[in-house]
Homo-oligomer: A and B are copies of this chain.
């Protein structure tokens, strides 16, 4: 290892990790090392550029904390998270996955089917419901619907000290028919946070930070693979240029405007309101 050159250093590093304890870890790390080295060689990375990369990572680490993960946002805005989602989606069917994003929090409050989550939130009332079932099979009782979304100002509760804890978040168990239902506000399109390294990167890349409006879900049930996905409003102006590449055709759906007073009364909302239906199909393990 004394005569390292551009031509042999990659193999020297691969050789250094040949004692890796798990074959899969060795495979993944070897591939990562080969690709990172190939990148450095391809662009003939300068010292200043290497320093800029280290500074990006350092700053991303410093701005991250329990309620913000700028590394997730970096992965999202470079399309890596979506690529991982696509690779791990079942090609045979079931609901498509989409990015987890940086705003999920474990342990949201458990609520009953039919709960109105609006509280003091501004926005257009929206009744959301659907069925959770096994892909190609029966409805699932007791599946956990874990929902999070932004308020009308485009901020998630954990980004915004002015929102109460658990605002526009909840967990809910499906009933014996696999049914879930809740009332919320129509989500709005919003910008991913631009006050950190990702914002500076997007700016350098000449890109905007907007995401089309969506309801964000983690759906889980015994004997099934967890599903993390987003359900988009198909008419959103950013539906074709999501800054984190999360949109899938099958996840973009209509919001039906209901003007019937009778229907509004049935759900305990004022008229007009939006009605959204979406069924989740989970892959059985």
Q: Which of A88-111 contact B (CB under 8 A)?
A: 88
- Please name the residue on chain B nearest to A60 by beta carbon: B61
Closest CB of chain B to A228's CB: distance in Å? 8
With A20-B204, A64-B61 as known contacts, state yes or no: A35 contacts B45, CB within 8 Å. no
Query: Which DSSP category, helix, strand, loop or mixed, fits chain A's interface?
Result: helix
Closest CB of chain B to A206's CB: distance in Å? 3
Q: Are B245 and A4 in contact (CB under 8 A)?
A: yes
Q: Are B25 and A81 in contact (CB under 8 A)?
A: no
Complex contacts, A28 vs chain B, CB 8 Å: 43, 45, 49
Q: Are A9 and B247 in contact (CB under 8 A)?
A: no
Q: Are A44 and B87 in contact (CB under 8 A)?
A: yes
With A40-B83, A49-B28, A71-B57 as known contacts, state yes or no: A1 contacts B240, CB within 8 Å. yes
Check if A154 is an interface residue, CB within 8 A of chain B: no
Q: Are A58 and B86 in contact (CB under 8 A)?
A: no
Q: Are B79 and A12 in contact (CB under 8 A)?
A: yes
With A57-B71, A62-B64 as known contacts, state yes or no: A239 contacts B2, CB within 8 Å. yes
- Please name the residue on chain B nearest to A51 by beta carbon: B100
Check if A258 is an interface residue, CB within 8 A of chain B: no
- Please name the residue on chain B nearest to A62 by beta carbon: B61
A residues with CB within 8 A of B: 1-6, 9-10, 12-13, 16-22, 25-29, 31-47, 49-50, 54, 57-58, 60-62, 64, 69, 71-72, 75, 78-88, 204-207, 239-242, 245, 247-249, 252
Of all A-B residue pairs in the complex, the 3 with the closest CB atoms, nearest first, are A61-B61, A19-B206, A13-B79
Q: Could you name 20 residue pairs across A and B whose Cβ atoms are closer than 8 Å?
A: A2-B247, A2-B252, A6-B86, A9-B82, A13-B78, A16-B79, A18-B206, A20-B205, A25-B204, A29-B205, A33-B79, A40-B80, A44-B87, A45-B84, A57-B57, A58-B61, A58-B69, A58-B71, A61-B64, A61-B71
